[in-house]
Amino acid sequence: MRPFLAACLTCLPAFAAAETPVLTVMTYDSFTSDWGPGPAVEKAFEEVCGCDLQFITGGDGAALLARLQLEGTATGADVVLGLDTNLTAQGLASGLFAPHGQEPASGLPVDFDDAHFLPYDWGWFAFVYNKTRLETPPDSFRALAESDLKVVIQDPRSSTPGLGLLMWVKAAYGDEAPAIWSSLADNVLTVTPGWSEAYGLFVDGEADMVLSYTTSPAYHRIAEEDDSKDWAPFAEGHYLQIELGAVLASSDQPGLARDFLAFTQSPAFQSVIPETNWMYPATEIPLPEGFETHRPETSLLLGAEDAQAIRAEALAEWQAALSR
Amino acid sequence: MAGGAVALGAGALALVLLPLGAVAFHAGGLSLSGPDLAALRFTLTQAALSALISVTLAVPVARALARRRFPGRGLLITLMGAPFLLPVIVAVLALVTVFGRAGWLNSLGAAVGLPPVPVYGLHGVLLAHVFLNLPLAVRMILQGWLAVPSERFRLAESLGFCPADIFRHIERPMLREVLPGALATVFAICLTSFAVALTLGGGPAATTLELAIYQAVRFEFDLSHAAGLALIQTGLGAAAALAAWHLTRESGFGAGMDRPLATRAPGGWRRAGDVLVLVLAGGFLLLPLAALVTRGLPGLADLPWSVAEAALRSITVALLSALIAVSAGLSLALAVARGGPRWLELAAVLPLAASGLVLGTGLFLLIQPVLPPPRLALPVTLLVNTLMTLPFVFRLLLPEARALEAGYGRLAASLGLRGFARLRLLVLPRLARPLGFCAGLAAALSMGDLGVIALFATGREVTLPLLVQQLMGSYRTGAAAGAALVLVSLSFALFWIFDAGGRRASPR
Amino acid sequence: MLRLDELLLTQGDFRLAADWQVPPGARIALIGPSGAGKSSLLAAIAGFYAPASGRVLWDGRDLTPLTPGERPLSILFQDQNLFPHLTLAENLGLGLRPALRLTPGERARVTEALDRVGLTGMGARRPAQLSGGQVSRAALARVLLRARPLLLLDEPFAALGPALKQEMLALVAEVAGDTGATVLMVTHDPRDALEFAALTVIVAGGLAAAPQPTAALFADPPAVLRDYLGHRQ
């Protein structure tokens, strides 16, 4: 009976705490877990806002947008954290978001200025490998295609890194993308629904490389004191994932919501990011020791409209090449 | 009682169809596109093959288990049920540990100079689906064997039947009754496969309808397309249920006197064959479980304390779900066995083929205008767990309920045994074995799933499967394997307690 | 008093009509070829089988709306007259209270009934531990406890040897005599009819004829009965 009781009790604070304003932030699962940024962010913001910060979670970035579109203006969320640049065109078209009124984030390797979506962290997609098992990793998609190496990637239809890889190849090769995918087909060991399954397979030694982030080796180095993982720099450059926050137009706490977005740019929020979300902070603050050993030379990023315009075509090319 | 069952059946049908309708209504219609045909073809192929292989392999395994007695037989039967209870992602990683490119078998092969056997492709999908569903098929068929009164085997023995005669006169009619339902059930389960099919299928060629639904919802933001696909998927499940219903012939063995089965199992090569079948099936089903344990044990040390809280929450949900599912399944099975309307059978199979994503989305759309969905997280979880486990409970109870009605329905009616007294004095004791098994199954299955209710999650109440997912999503692969081991052990313990309880309470 | 009022049973090609009544306390044999509908007639009277038309009346009351358990009768089937998972005492107790929550007085009656049929001290046994004759006795003991005014026997003793069957029929006669019950008994054996039942109903050719005195009937059998009895007679 305990959950029933708990379910009833969760209704109570809504009445009891009517005095304190509640800010509801919708975000992905791993953000709010015990080892994600959530707990520290909640504590730090509640110290300054005089409000109660509550998280609602569900799925990843694409799932968040799908849910927000489903809820429409009836959503209980005031702020969303976790959309990315591949979703902003769709997000803007939905009309669900209000301008945030903040200065552009200062710590990105490219210029990114959007009235509705504000970066709070970012990273480069990269293929991660184990240095003890692979001495000379491929230095480009072409080199990867020519090798016998097996990689695990994610499905663009159900995973944001998977979609990122689609955009990466498209941004680097344009009309040649189908040919690149065809040549990569025999290197793709398998495609997983999400990042976790792919990374799990890689850690188990099933694949030589996995699609992840340049910051992934930092986790193993810092948290596990394991220096065996690294990422392979590709000559084509590396595609960026920028994680974004936005204010819901339907929010009944618009002021508080904008305050929260401003807070995402503050050191209190930003300093938590590297070692909880394992991404680069969006502002220029010092990085933890060992977080970064080398950087890609070139950053790739398609504009929101371009990304929206080519995604269907890019998916079809990918499906056709890998289905053979 | 019949009225209640009709209401239950109608409720189950409504729970499958209303959310689908709500999604279609919200989107303003249903739609399909060209590539859906490829998804449909792949879905049908893999589901049909998975069902055929699982059930075909299950027959000799069930027969060996039914006619052999050896130390550890009960434990083997229970353990062999475990794969069916695994959360999908856990099962995939365990299978890869054994059969993968760097897995045990390929390492062993490499040591003796064999080329690696790749696991990714249609055969990988089938391997996983057989691994996950063989135990269920074995159990359904084994129940059929155990439901044949020992008097019939005794009669066969007295007539000097050879094993082929026994097959013809006793086993074949029994299989005729059990197999169509088993095939339809496994087929419907595999219809909705998505993570297994994609990961072991090796790429987008292994796109199932459920994955196409994901694409429609999350990539295209096109709910009408999702609803169209979900309708096809549910329609395939309904077709399978109807075909099973058409093919099922009741064996009409009647009731026995609960005498212990004392037939002599055939010796010679048949004995060796049974041993071989049990060793192969046991190895196939237990090796990945061993992999799960070896993967998970080191991670136990890294587990956060929140695992205990999450476990408690999951167990509570599982127990409540099991109670509701078994009550609902029993009243449906009894109603159908007593000649209730046959569409009830359809209602009890259809949920298997429902798309989890569309079901969740539809429920969300239905509830949202009335209440904030996160407030209903627990009731919706219980409802969905019940809906999703009802088909198994019903399918496993139906043959037993039929045998009960055929054997004792008249006697009970002539004595005026009704209502609660009938339940207490006739139904519960005579069906103790399958009821225990079903309760264990429902509880264990309810420990695992979280997909459907993702939209209702508040983020505050972490369950064990969600904890595994969170750990995996934040690089903590080792701890995630540990938490998965805890999840599987608890699921299995719940299953074992109920199953053993049912067997102990059974008069046979 | 049992009355079958223009009763008509149909199922596929099968048809059986009956329109007669039997005096209270009578013992009646139902005899006729296999498949003629003897068991169906009993099933219809017991409420397991809805007639196409007509009524079954007891003391002028229409039994049609009543469930089998509510009807003023006990029935014994060819087999499965006891629940194998319950003890004899429990099986008998069901005859007193289907919910089986017995008072001490009722328990004593169960023990008495067991004594009465010669099963003293066997209340804790289960049916599988008994011989065929003992199972029949236990079923009769429950009939005794139920004390319903009508007893239907659908060949419950067919599997017993001749001597044992005679014994059981004597026990039935005793039990029926105790409770003043009317007995309808399906049988294949003319001797059963002659020894046990003063009246006989011939079931053949789609008709269950009105009861006639058994002795007279067998002394000068009509054509249908001659066919059934064969040339031995």
Asked if residue B306 is part of any domain, the answer here is yes
Chains near A (3 or more Cβ pairs under 8 Å): B
How many angstroms away from the CA of B45 is the closest CA of chain A? 16
Asked if residue B223 is part of any domain, the answer here is yes
The more confidently predicted of residues A170 and B342 is A170
Among chain A residues, the shortest Cα distance to B310 is held by: A3
Specify the DSSP class assigned to residue B263: P
B145-181 per-residue burial string, b: 16 or more CB within 10 A, e: under 16 = bbbbbbbbbeebeeeebeeeebeeebbebbbebbbbb
- Give the count of domains, chain B: 1
Residue of B383, B504, B507 whose CA lies nearest to B74:
B504
Q: Is residue A3 over pLDDT 60?
A: no
Q: Any idea what the CATH number is for the domain that residue A31 is in?
A: 3.40.190.10
Residues pairing with A97 in the sheet: A248
Residue type, B357: L
Per the prediction, chain A carries an average pLDDT of 90
Distance CA B58, CA B508 (A): 23
Distance CA C47, CA C65 (A): 9
| Residue-level pLDDT at A15 | 45
| Tokens, residue C2 | 């049992």
User: Do A117 and A245 belong together in one domain?
Assistant: yes
Distance CA A60, CA A83 (A): 8
Distance CA C106, CA B78 (A): 43
- Report how far apart the first and last C-alpha atoms of chain A are (Å, whole number): 53
Residue range C145-172: mean pLDDT, rounded: 89
Q: Is the Cβ of A78 closer than 8 Å to some Cβ of chain B?
A: no
Give the SS3 label for residue C101: coil
Greatest C-alpha distance within chain A: 65
| Residue-level pLDDT at A17 | 46
> How does DSSP assign B12-28, residue by residue?
HHHHHHHHHHHHHHHHT
Asked if residue B257 is part of any domain, the answer here is no
CB contact under 8 A, C94 and B417: yes
In Å, how far from its chain's centre is CA C117?
17
Contact yes or no for B424/B402 (Cβ under 8 A): no
> Whose structure tokens read 């009741």?
B250
Chains near B (3 or more Cβ pairs under 8 Å): A, C
pLDDT one-digit tens code per residue, A163-192:
999 999 999 999 999 999 999 999 999 999
Residue range C47-59: mean pLDDT, rounded: 91
pLDDT one-digit tens code per residue, A89-131:
999 999 999 999 999 988 999 999 999 999 999 999 999 999 9
C85 → closest Cβ in B258, B410, B421: B258
Contact yes or no for B465/B87 (Cβ under 8 A): yes
Asked if residue A11 is part of any domain, the answer here is no
Q: Is the Cβ of A15 closer than 8 Å to some Cβ of chain B?
A: no
B413 → closest Cβ in C48, C84, C126: C48
Residue range C132-149: mean pLDDT, rounded: 91
Q: Which domain holds residue B401?
A: 2-251+268-505
Domain boundary assignment for chain C? 2-72+149-229, 85-147
Alpha helices in B28-149 (DSSP H): 36-67, 73-80, 88-99, 104-111, 122-147
Residue of B206, B38, B191 whose CA lies nearest to B120:
B206
Asked if residue A203 is part of any domain, the answer here is yes
Contacts of B101 in chain A (CB under 8 A): 150, 189, 206-207
Q: Are strands A238-248 and A97-98 parallel, antiparallel or unpaired?
A: antiparallel
Q: Any idea what the CATH number is for the domain that residue B440 is in?
A: 1.10.3720.10
| Residue-level pLDDT at B436 | 93
Contact yes or no for C123/C114 (Cβ under 8 A): yes
Give the SS3 label for residue C19: strand
| Residue-level pLDDT at B450 | 58
Q: Is residue B358 over pLDDT 90?
A: no
User: Do A104 and A37 belong together in one domain?
Assistant: yes
Among chain A residues, the shortest Cα distance to B120 is held by: A190
pLDDT tier, A1 (very low <50, low <70, confident <90, very high otherwise): very low
Lowest mean pLDDT among A38-42, A294-298, B160-164, C28-32: B160-164
Distance CA C182, CA A138 (A): 98
Residues pairing with C73 in the sheet: C150
| Tokens, residue B290 | 């061993």
Asked if residue A287 is part of any domain, the answer here is no
How many angstroms away from the CA of C19 is the closest CA of chain B? 24
Give the SS3 label for residue C11: strand
Residue range A133-139: mean pLDDT, rounded: 94
> How does DSSP assign A86-111, residue by residue?
TTHHHHHHHT-EE---PPPPS--SS-
- Report how far apart the first and last C-alpha atoms of chain B are (Å, whole number): 27
User: Do A262 and A138 belong together in one domain?
Assistant: no
Distance CA B112, CA B106 (A): 10
Contact yes or no for B439/B502 (Cβ under 8 A): yes
Residue of C145, C209, C197, C149 whose CA lies nearest to C2:
C149
pLDDT tier, B460 (very low <50, low <70, confident <90, very high otherwise): low
Contacts of A194 in chain B (CB under 8 A): 473
CB contact under 8 A, B218 and A219: no
Distance CA C46, CA B147 (A): 28
User: Do A217 and A303 belong together in one domain?
Assistant: yes
**Which of C83, C100, C101 to mutate: most B Cβ within 10 Å?**
C83
Specify the DSSP class assigned to residue C62: E
Asked if residue A40 is part of any domain, the answer here is yes
Distance CA C147, CA C177 (A): 11
| Residue B353 parent element (H or E) | helix B350-353
Number of other CB atoms surrounding residue B81 within 10 Å: 22
Distance CA A292, CA A230 (A): 11
Residue range B472-498: mean pLDDT, rounded: 90
Q: Is residue B262 over pLDDT 70?
A: no
How many angstroms away from the CA of B174 is the closest CA of chain C? 21
Rg (CA), chain A: 20
Specify the DSSP class assigned to residue B261: P
Give the SS3 label for residue B4: helix
Lowest mean pLDDT among A30-34, B376-380, B448-452: B448-452
User: Do A115 and A137 belong together in one domain?
Assistant: no
> Whose structure tokens read 């929550």?
C101
C15-29 per-residue burial string, b: 16 or more CB within 10 A, e: under 16 = ebbbeeebeeebbbb
Q: Which domain holds residue A171?
A: 123-239+293-323
pLDDT one-digit tens code per residue, C175-200:
888 888 999 999 888 888 888 899 99
How many angstroms away from the CA of B152 is the closest CA of chain A? 47
User: Do A173 and A257 belong together in one domain?
Assistant: no
Q: Where are the beta strands (DSSP E) in B155-209?
A: none
Contacts of A33 in chain B (CB under 8 A): 462, 470-471, 473-474
| Residue-level pLDDT at C87 | 93
Asked if residue B262 is part of any domain, the answer here is no
Looking from the CA of A120 toward its CB, the CA atoms found within 13 Å total 29
Distance CA C124, CA A110 (A): 87
A120-134, B357-371, B487-501: which has the highest mean pLDDT? A120-134
Q: Is residue B337 over pLDDT 80?
A: yes
Per the prediction, chain B carries an average pLDDT of 86
Residues pairing with C3 in the sheet: C21, C57
Burial of A214 (0-12, 13-18, 19+ CB in 10 A): buried
How many angstroms away from the CA of B342 is the closest CA of chain A? 35
B414 → closest Cβ in C68, C82, C90: C68
| Residue-level pLDDT at B458 | 67
List CB contacts of A320: < 8 A, sequence separation 6 or more.
Answer: A178
Superfamily, domain C2-72+149-229: P-loop containing nucleotide triphosphate hydrolases (3.40.50.300)
Chains C and A touch (3+ CB pairs under 8 A): no
| Tokens, residue B479 | 């701890």
Contact yes or no for C140/C168 (Cβ under 8 A): yes
Give the SS3 label for residue C186: strand
Q: Is the Cβ of A254 closer than 8 Å to some Cβ of chain B?
A: no
pLDDT tier, A14 (very low <50, low <70, confident <90, very high otherwise): very low
Distance CA A134, CA B419 (A): 70
pLDDT one-digit tens code per residue, B381-436:
888 888 888 888 988 888 788 888 888 988 998 888 888 889 999 999 999 988 99
pLDDT tier, A2 (very low <50, low <70, confident <90, very high otherwise): very low
Asked if residue A3 is part of any domain, the answer here is no
